[in-house]
């Protein structure tokens, strides 16, 4: 089974957006965005994803990435 990887940290860095700026724009707490940024969540509401995409001027595919199980295991071993 594969895994969904969150790339919010990369998109935020590309946009030079801080956690507090994004939190204010999206209306989600710093703590929850930090968990999301670090990949420590198991679900995300579409409304939250929409708000993040609007604030960062990006597409959901810029934030979410699917990795096959083999690829994921290679990343863990590195």
Q: Which CATH number characterizes residue 20's domain? A: 1.10.260.40
SS3 38: coil
Question: 35 CB contacts (<8 Å, ≥6 apart)?
Answer: 41
pTM of the predicted model as reported, rounded to 2 decimal places: 0.82
Per-residue confidence band for 69, with pLDDT thresholds at 50, 70 and 90: confident
Angle at 63 between CA 60 and CA 3, to 5 degrees: 105
How many structural domains compose the chain? Answer: 1
For residues 25 and 58, the answer to whether their CB atoms sit within 8 Å is no
Mean pLDDT, to the nearest integer, of 37-55?
Answer: 94
pLDDT at residue 71 is higher than 60: no
**Domain limits at 68?**
3-77
pLDDT at residue 56 is higher than 70: yes
């Amino acid at each position: 089974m594969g895994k969904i990887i969150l790339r919010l940290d990369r998109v935020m860095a590309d946009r030079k957006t801080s956690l507090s700026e994004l939190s204010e724009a999206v209306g989600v707490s710093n703590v929850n965005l930090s968990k999301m940024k670090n990949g420590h969540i198991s679900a995300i509401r579409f409304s939250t994803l929409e708000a993040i995409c609007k604030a960062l001027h990006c597409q959901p595919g810029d934030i979410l990435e699917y990795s096959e199980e083999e690829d994921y295991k290679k990343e863990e071993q590195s």
